[in-house]
Amino acid sequence: MSKIIFEKIIKADRKKIFEFAKNYENYQKILPQYYPSIRIISSRGNTSVVEEHLRIGGKELVMMVKHVTVEPLQHEIFVIGGDAKGTHIINRYEQIQDGTKLILEVDWKSKGMMKLLDFFGKNNILNDYSRMIDDFIVIVER
């Protein structure tokens, strides 16, 4: 799958959005339809390693994910093991007059059956990922 960049405008303060985004253990509480299970393996400074179960593209993926944050500017996600190993996501947060512009760079890597679905154009991971971010935005704008 190729790299895609998309932008979202959020009507909320950048610091508030960043606090939600870096609070990984709450993903399964605030977005249970996407994250049925989250377990923090280790956390040191601005880096955390998290075991994540993610429902996306019609499948439940099990991944080991490294989160690196530069508060409140950037949240970088590296999938270091599991079903989407090699995936790299960068979330950048730019303060704008009426809120925050979220710029997402998603370089999704698929394995096994998911790769086969990519080949036949039946994999909607990026659409589902965008929808998940939209659901996150609704929550953070409250």
Confidence of residue 15 (pLDDT cuts 50, 70, 90): very high
Token pair of 134 as six digits: 């939209």
pLDDT at position 123: 52
Is pLDDT above 50 for 126?
yes
Does residue 68 sit in helix, strand or coil?
strand
Task: Please give the residue that has the higher pLDDT: either 48 or 111.
Answer: 48
Q: What is the mean pLDDT of the chain?
A: 88
DSSP letter for each residue of 74-124? EEEEEEEEETTTT-EEEEEEEEETTEEEEEEEEE----HHHHHHHHTT---
Question: Where exactly are the structural domains of the chain?
Answer: 3-140
- Report how far Cα 141 is from the mean position of its chain's Cα atoms: 17
Q: Return the CATH architecture of domain 3-140.
A: 2-Layer Sandwich (3.30)
* Mean pLDDT, residues 64-79: 96
